[in-house]
Amino acid sequence: MPEREADRSVSQTVRAQLALRDLILSGGLRPGERISELQAVETTGVSRTPVRMALVRLEEEGLLEAIPSGGFMVKAFSERDILDSIELRGTLEGLAARFAAERGVSARDLEPLKECLNEIDGLVRQDPISVEAFSSYVALNARFHPLLTELSRSPPLIRQIDRASALPFASPSGFVMAQSALPEAHQILLIAQDHHRVVIDAIENREGARAEAIMREHARLAARNLRLALRNRTHLDLLPALALIKSAAAD
């Protein structure tokens, strides 16, 4: 079947949203820079209507900021903003873990999570850990966290966590790859995996406060990774999203 010009199956709006998001995260647009709709029409190849829709959605996503007089600009983030976003995500995931513990979960619901954990165990046993193993870890981690969130069985909370994780630097896997270049890499991964095991154990034993606390601390690993990566200033290219940081980056 002919499939020129990208997928014909997805809507123009989604296509524009993806294209613009990539453009922003790859640093194609400077923070604070106004996004011209016509310019966006040229780069995305779709009409103004879906472009406008995509811009609105990217604003809600947090990547854009509305200009009072009209239009949108690329949002700029401080390092503090990012750290706060991580703490925020950890707090929400903590709430989800507490809900799961307090309300109880069936062994059947826990099954896919334990599978994840076992697969991750296979990875972290390596020393040193290969880059491919890191990629696998990112994938497994990106599977584990949503599963954990869903254990809360709370649609409003799940929704809010999704929104809080939409910002790439706030997502559970946002800074794992940055970590791969660090000497502490293996150690941090072992700790993260221990957090995973502890939160499942806490949920199984209906220990709400413990489940909540460990998820908060778990998120703070991401904050540590960010700080280490910024200080070392090595392999920052692994983190395209950092193009949005105000002071740093911007070579």
Partner DNA sequence: CGCGCAAGTAATGTATACAGAAGGTACTCA
Partner DNA sequence: TGAGTACCTTCTGTATACATTACTTGCGCG
Interacting residues toward DNA by CB under 7 A: 11-13, 34-39, 46-50, 52-53, 69-71
Q: Assess 71 for contact with its own copies (CB under 8 A).
A: no
**What are the b/e assignments for 56-91, b being 16+ CB within 10 Å?**
ebbeebbbbeeeeeeebbbbebebebbbebbbbbbb
Residue 46 site contact among DNA, its own copies, none (CB < 5 to 8 Å, cut-off depends on kind): DNA
**What are the b/e assignments for 150-173, b being 16+ CB within 10 Å?**
bbbebeebbebbeebbebbbbbbb
Site string for its own copies, 78-107 (x = CB under 8 A): --xx--xx-xx--xx--x---x--------
Specify the stretch interacting with its own copies by CB under 8 A; choose among 20-28, 33-41, 53-61, 187-195.
53-61
- Give Cα separations from 95 to 24, 33, 152, 158, 212 (angstroms): 31, 36, 8, 10, 6
Within 13 Å of residue 28, how many CA atoms lie on the same side as its CB? 12
Nearer to DNA, 1 or 107 (CB): 1
In this chain, which of 62, 124, 181, 224 binds its own copies, going by CB under 8 A? 62
In this chain, which of 2, 68, 155, 183 binds its own copies, going by CB under 8 A? 155
Residue 12 site contact among DNA, its own copies, none (CB < 5 to 8 Å, cut-off depends on kind): DNA
